[in-house]
Amino acid sequence: MFTGVNPIKRFCFHSVYTLLFLALSCSAVNQITRGQSLRDGDTLLSVDDKFELGFFSPGISTSRYLGIWYHDAAEADSLIWVANRDRPVPDRSGVLTVAGDGNLVISDGNGTRVWSSNATARVESNDTVALLAVTGNLILSQNDTVGDVDRAFWQSFANPTDTYLPNMRVLVDAAVGENHAFSSWRSADDPSPGNFTLGVDPRGAPQIVIWENGNRRWRSGQWNGLIFTGVPSMTTLTNFQYGFKLTREDDGRLYFTYNPANASALLRFRIGWDGIEEQLRWNESRRIWDVLQRQPEEGCEAYNRCGEFAVCDESGRPTCNCMEGFRPRNLSEWNSENFTGGCQRNTPLQCQSNSSSQTGGEEDGFRSIRCTKLPDFADVHEGVSPDSCRERCLDDCECKAYSMINGIGCMIWSGGLVDVQHFGTGGGNVLNLRLAGSELGKTLTAYDGRKLSIPVIVGIVVASVVGLAVIVWLFCRIKRKLQGTKQNETPMFDTSKSREFSSDLSGPAEIIEGSQMNPADLPLFNVNCVAIATNNFSIENKLGQGGFGPVYKGKLPGGEEIAVKRLSRISGQGVEEFKNEISLIAKLQHRNLVRLLGYCVQGDEKMLIYEYMPNKSLDFFLFDPRKQATLDWAKRFTIIEGIARGLLYLHRDSRLRIIHRDLKASNILLDEEMNPKISDFGMARIFGGNQNEANTNRVVGTYGYMAPEYAMEGLFSVKSDVYSFGVLVLEIVTGRRNTSFRSSDHVNLIGYAWELWSEGRALDLVDPSVRGSSPQEELLRCIQLGMLCVQDNPVQRPTMAAVMLTLESDSPSLPMPRQPTFTSSMRASIDRDLYSEDLV
């Protein structure tokens, strides 16, 4: 054949032929076709070498099973699927083939079938292919549709064993009912179906459930669109390990899918033979599987440990306590720590009573139980307001409780309240428990859930009154002494009067864990000296006008320039905001916060004295076409970083934990070097160390900067400031106000930004004055960060610590933002009664 051919050419031909043969061989190791077989000892590898299929023996067993495992990890610890789990091959004679009917078949040495895929759609043609995909899915299909899961005859992802992998779909269908999708092994050496199953209960709001022999053993809590409410730790892992979504596929049915942000990580969920569900991640450096989460742990995670109408609290003694207005159903069992009998009502509801004497004649009401894992078996009503949800419960005599949850809606419980847990370290939701009116007056509940009886409350009130009387008497004596020694000459400021003013600082923002703040270290300026410094508050010295009142420039006798905020008598803000600003900012020191030099209180005059900022506020430059060019991209990025540092200090690094609540461009002042300083703390609130969220019945703020949960429900947290920061970032990038789109096709800047982002035209957002001379990667990073900060769900927004990490990193890994939906316009200032109490 090669006679007369040059030896070099002959060598080259053989080499090419050999390489081609090897390439073809390698391309075939991830699949088998009709007529081919996979014998015990041979394996298939996915094309990325991540997954491997072959025969194995578990533990000490000598039986052989066909399974799929992670190729790079140890086989024994990385199995994700088993085919013939009910009927093993007794020896190493097993073989996998694509049979004449188109099905995958496992046969033993005698030719006996021990397992078949039993595909409902049979294909008689000779081009049937079984492919091990890069997802770990074994797919049986025709050759022209190989790997297409939507046109597959059969696939292992639709027939899972004990492991849930990324890209798997789990059906959520109320008509079908509970979906016990995954079943545990019987033991570590026996992969046949065990006692435990893992799946989805679609009723109401879907939740993940572990069953033991058909009975609930653990549940995740309801899905709110981002996390399972009974697993609050998901809020800290969402952007990294979790990627759950509930999606409606082309077939019209709902499925849970799981796609983590880091697609390269080896991640899986497994229901163990001991009934423990684990989330596992492969640690390449240590060559082990790290356990990220386990459910259920011992204690309150066990399903309904305390019975009906009781709350399980790991930090409590005893662990189980009846809900307010209830008592143990069997006291002797309860005292012996047998809580399974649960609790019963002390007083019947009004609608359940035949006489008003039983209920005291009072209408039923609600007591809020905070930081809870909500009870099981809720009915969900979408598109219902909080008030309507409450009324629905009151109108239904069977209703025991209700809750309003973002991402779910109105939840109502008509049966016994079971599997309720208190999350002492934060998280959870508010459960509104229905009680007889007479029960509501018997006890009050402290912030930590402890019940205070009326005698205790009376004792506290009496002690407080006596203590206040003593303080007033001492105050009057000190005041008289000060007046007796007062000199005719009036100094510029007098710190001795700070104590006198601090006695009037009684607003809620000054109280932290029982201790009162006062501005004793701040100088108290005399009103005459302030008038002289500002040229008698002349129009020439006026710098601007805010919600607090006018701001004037002044100069002290020593030459120091100051800014004076003068409380207007007709201001929408008032004395409470004035007190709040003094008591907060007097204790804060950071280069990105404006510095308070002192205050003035005399007669009707109330003023705050600040360091003077020569470059006014950010909006003065940002939204003026004539001044925008002054802010090149380097300055804008520095301003973004400075605002982020200031917020991080407020949220985490200061000794107080402060939510600003009114972050906007006009409240960002610029010093002589254009460094940003956050100002105006009149609306700010203090959070305790373990507090994550609060609500208010007075929603105040500025149109365009308020987070949706704050504007609509009065709920605020550090994530409310993050939302405002995101709006600011988008404004700084674009040079346009968020509210400048009201007359255009877009509701606001956020809606416009999302449209361009989703179309791949994000750079069109950038202010033309900086677009050509700015680094594109940095611009895109800031746009993506801004979009993440204005996500609808506060849990989905990053913390300011994560924001700073992103800004300071050259190549950060950011999750993709979702489309914001809450972009409808609101009034500039909203003040309405949404809740019955102001928590902070």
pLDDT at residue 748, rounded to an integer: 82
Question: Cα-Cα-Cα-Cα dihedral of 631, 637, 641, 644, to 10°?
Answer: 80
CA distance 309 to 320: 10
1 — pLDDT class (breaks 50, 70, 90): very low
pLDDT at residue 445, rounded to an integer: 42
Helices assigned H by DSSP within 322-453: 331-335, 356-359, 386-395, 437-440
Alpha carbon 646 to its chain centroid, in Å, reads 22
pLDDT winner (highest mean) among 471-480, 485-494, 634-643: 634-643
Quick check: 472 pLDDT over 70?
A: no
User: Is the backbone peptide bond immediately before 296 cis, with ω within 30 degrees of 0?
Assistant: yes
Burial class (CB in 10 A: 0-12, 13-18, 19+), 493: buried
**Burial state string for 66-83 with b = 16 or more CB within 10 A and e = fewer than 16:** bbbbbbebeeeebbbbbb
DSSP 3-state assignment of 665?
A: helix
CATH of domain 160-297: 2.90.10
pLDDT winner (highest mean) among 45-54, 235-244, 345-354: 45-54
Average predicted confidence (pLDDT) for the chain: 80
598 — pLDDT class (breaks 50, 70, 90): confident
Please determine whether the domains at 1-143 and 160-297 fall in the same fold group of CATH: yes
CA nearest 249: which of 159, 142, 158?
158
Top pLDDT among 530 and 248 is at 530
Are 376 and 347 in contact by the 8 Å Cβ rule? The answer is no
Quick check: 25 pLDDT over 70?
A: no
CA nearest 149: which of 166, 169, 163, 164?
169
CA distance 302 to 213: 15
Of 133-142, 299-308, 458-467, 504-513, where does mean pLDDT reach its minimum?
A: 504-513
Q: Which residues are known catalytic residues?
A: 662
Q: Would you state the structure tokens that stand for residue 104, as one six-digit string?
A: 């995958």
Contacts of 617 (CB under 8 A, 6+ apart): 544, 665, 666, 667, 668, 669, 670, 679
CATH of domain 618-808: 1.10.510.10
Alpha carbon 568 to its chain centroid, in Å, reads 40
Are 214 and 183 in contact by the 8 Å Cβ rule? The answer is no
Span 819-829, mean pLDDT?
51
Quick check: 825 pLDDT over 70?
A: no
3-state secondary structure 237-299: HCCCCCCEEEEECCCCCEEEEECCCCCCCCEEEEECCCCCEEEEEEECCCCEEEEEEEECCCC
Span 101-113, mean pLDDT?
93
Quick check: 673 pLDDT over 50?
A: yes
Q: Would you state the structure tokens that stand for residue 5, as one six-digit string?
A: 């051919």
pLDDT at residue 358, rounded to an integer: 52
Are 553 and 568 in contact by the 8 Å Cβ rule? The answer is no
Quick check: 427 pLDDT over 90?
A: no
CATH number belonging to the domain at 1-143, selected among 3.40.50.300, 2.90.10.10, 2.40.30.210, 3.40.190.10: 2.90.10.10
Q: Would you state the structure tokens that stand for residue 632, as one six-digit string?
A: 């090149």
494 — pLDDT class (breaks 50, 70, 90): very low
> How many CA atoms does the CB half-sphere of 379 hold within 13 Å?
15
450 — pLDDT class (breaks 50, 70, 90): very low
Quick check: 535 pLDDT over 50?
A: yes
Apex CA 807: angle with CA 802 and CA 813, to 5°?
A: 65
Domain ranges of the chain: 1-143, 160-297, 310-449, 456-486, 495-611, 618-808
DSSP 3-state assignment of 336?
A: coil
DSSP 3-state assignment of 343?
A: strand
Span 507-530, mean pLDDT?
54
From residue 713, alpha-carbon distances to 124, 228, 622, 694, 833 in Å are 61, 21, 31, 10, 10
CATH of domain 495-611: 3.30.200.20
261 — pLDDT class (breaks 50, 70, 90): low
Quick check: 396 pLDDT over 90?
A: yes
pLDDT at residue 18, rounded to an integer: 47
pLDDT winner (highest mean) among 28-32, 58-62, 693-697: 58-62
Q: Would you state the structure tokens that stand for residue 344, as one six-digit string?
A: 């019963």
User: DSSP labels for 168-213?
Assistant: -EEEE-TTT--EEEEEEEEETTEEEEEEEEEEEE-SSS-EEEEEET
What percent of the chain has pLDDT above 90? Answer: 44
CA distance 113 to 133: 25
> What is the per-residue pLDDT across 204-243, written as a single tens digit (0 to 9) for each?
899 999 999 999 999 999 998 888 999 877 765 544 445 7
Top pLDDT among 339 and 243 is at 339
Top pLDDT among 26 and 742 is at 742
pLDDT at residue 371, rounded to an integer: 87
CA distance 494 to 523: 6
pLDDT at residue 562, rounded to an integer: 94
pLDDT winner (highest mean) among 308-322, 407-421, 563-577: 407-421
Span 536-549, mean pLDDT?
83
Contacts of 603 (CB under 8 A, 6+ apart): 527
CA distance 787 to 733: 12
> What is the per-residue pLDDT across 296-313, written as a single tens digit (0 to 9) for each?
987 899 999 999 999 999
Top pLDDT among 402 and 464 is at 402
Q: Would you state the structure tokens that stand for residue 495, as one six-digit string?
A: 């710190």
Task: For residue 118, count other CB atoms closer than 10 A to its CB.
Answer: 12
> What is the per-residue pLDDT across 748-785, written as a single tens digit (0 to 9) for each?
899 889 888 888 889 999 999 888 778 888 999 999 99
DSSP 3-state assignment of 455?
A: helix
Span 557-583, mean pLDDT?
74
Quick check: 104 pLDDT over 70?
A: yes
CA nearest 668: which of 724, 629, 589?
724
Burial class (CB in 10 A: 0-12, 13-18, 19+), 45: middle
Burial class (CB in 10 A: 0-12, 13-18, 19+), 356: exposed
Quick check: 713 pLDDT over 50?
A: yes
